[in-house]
Chain A
Amino acid sequence: MSKVRILVGTRKGAFVLTSDGKREKWDVSGPHFAGWEIYHLKGSPADPDRVYASQSSGWFGQQIQRSKDGGVTWEPVGNKFVYDGVPGTHQWYDGTPHPWEFKRVWHLEPSLSDPDKVYAGVEDAALFESADGGQNWQELSGLRGHGTGPHWSPGAGGMCLHTIVIDPSNPQRMYIAISAAGAFRTDDAGKSWRPINHGLHSQHIPDPDAEVGHCVHRIAMHHSRPGTLFMQKHWDVMRSDNAGDSWREVSGNLPTDFGFVIDVHAHEPETVYVVPIKSDSEHFPLDGKLSVYRSRSGGNEWEALTKGLPQKDCYVNVLRDAMAVDSLDKCGVYFGTTGGQVYASADSGDSWAPIVHDLPAVLSVEVQTLS
């Protein structure tokens, strides 16, 4: 019997939600690390009981926690994130040079094949790698050092590396995204990087078509088509069919193309989900109606999915790491809100129900499909 485990990071701790394959009744475990901000948790595809969590606090800094039993028990591992060499500077909000300073880990991405290997995307933006289960961390400094780093600048949420996508067909290839620098790709396992932002158009930077400076919010990929990427940018939903070499807009008939999350159906590589948010100054759904939008055509043509979602007086946000899918048939889709709800759909988005109502603000949602 299949089982689904949802790993939820919140402002005040982590929660683990589990259900059988019917996805009707859920057990809720937590809070783990009560009182700490849990930006992200993610399980190893190679060993689902190996789970990593990013735990941070304004008082006591960054911790990394590791579980060997699917999030039942945890042990702290290494938390020393030191930039390689002289950190250098990036642009500050006022355009002046500002030294790189480590603040927190936004995203943890375990290797697809090795439970002990895991990547960490951090603020100020950099990519770190651990080959020993999170005990020791080394920066993949070719990213910051490739040349455009001094021109990166923080978005409103800080200058964070928040998205790490590993190509399942090519272990040398990986994509990352930084707010507000853009998307980058390596083809040599992280040694060297190049910006992949051709086709992005951002009005908030002096040159809207610049090589870097774009506020990419999230990138999603279907494992069967690793060359096709979907992006939710600050504004605009984008698509690339050549591994990010160029992008085209697929916002189509979305009522607003601002948003944070984007994900792809587990079995249909042209079925894409977004949650439109009103604007960059009003981070809540249009007209107080929470809606997921689904495209079955890889973008441009979108349908609103509202059954079971609040359709009045709803003013939550859905943050960039807070949507995920399971791989059951039918595909389950899940997302969490800043209002503390985690919504689940066991029918590919046709209908929704809350699993929990009143968690702290949800920062991240990841799903594991267990056999």
Chain B
Amino acid sequence: MIRVILPAHLRTLGRAGSEVTLEVKEATIGGLLDALEESYPTLKGAVRDHVTLQRRPFVRYFACEQDLSHEPPDFPLPGQVISGSEPFLIVGAIAGGCF
């Protein structure tokens, strides 16, 4: 099982805990997001665009102390994420604030 840690707003939106576990058919970033959206349909459109499937600009993907945000959807997940020893983190970027 793959472990995914969600930011606070997505936990509320998805009615999920801070860490969710997923069965992932394809061990890639795109495959993980497919599985996340299948398990938590209300997160569709919140992490990546509905149509283009591009990551939303202020969302980041971290794992094993690496920034995987700019990797393509078919990028393989790290072995430690696949084994469940390390989580995959979906993070709201530090993007400043005007309010």
Chain A positions within 8 Å of B, measured between CB atoms, are 11-12, 33, 35-36, 57-63, 76, 79-80, 82, 360-361
| Given A12-B99, A59-B92, A79-B45, CB of A35 within 8 Å of CB of B58 | no
Contact A60 B59 (CB under 8 A): yes
| Given A12-B99, A35-B9, CB of A76 within 8 Å of CB of B42 | yes
B91 closest partner in A (C-beta): A59
CB distance from A126 to the nearest CB of B (A): 15
Contacts of B10 in A (CB 8 A): 60
Q: How far, in angstroms, from A171 to B87 measured CA to CA in the complex?
A: 53
CB distance from B60 to the nearest CB of A (A): 10
Contact of B99 among A11, A79, A80 (CB under 8 A): A11
| Given A12-B99, A58-B58, A361-B99, CB of A63 within 8 Å of CB of B13 | yes
CB distance from B64 to the nearest CB of A (A): 23
Contact A82 B51 (CB under 8 A): yes
Contacts of A360 in B (CB 8 A): 99
Contact B50 A36 (CB under 8 A): no
How many residues of B are in contact with the other chain, CB < 8 A?
Answer: 20
Contact A59 B59 (CB under 8 A): yes
- Give per-residue flags for B22-40: 1 if the beta carbon is below 8 A from chain A beta carbons, else 0: 0000000000000000000
| Given A76-B42, A361-B99, CB of A60 within 8 Å of CB of B9 | yes
Contact B58 A59 (CB under 8 A): yes
A10 closest partner in B (C-beta): B99
Contact A60 B50 (CB under 8 A): no
Q: How far, in angstroms, from A79 to B8 measured CA to CA in the complex?
A: 19
Contacts of B95 in A (CB 8 A): 58-59
Q: How far, in angstroms, from A141 to B45 measured CA to CA in the complex?
A: 22
Contact A82 B9 (CB under 8 A): no
Contacts of B51 in A (CB 8 A): 82
CB distance from B73 to the nearest CB of A (A): 18
Q: How far, in angstroms, from A250 to B8 measured CA to CA in the complex?
A: 49
Q: How far, in angstroms, from A79 to B47 measured CA to CA in the complex?
A: 12
Contact A60 B47 (CB under 8 A): yes
| Given A12-B99, A80-B50, A360-B99, CB of A61 within 8 Å of CB of B9 | no
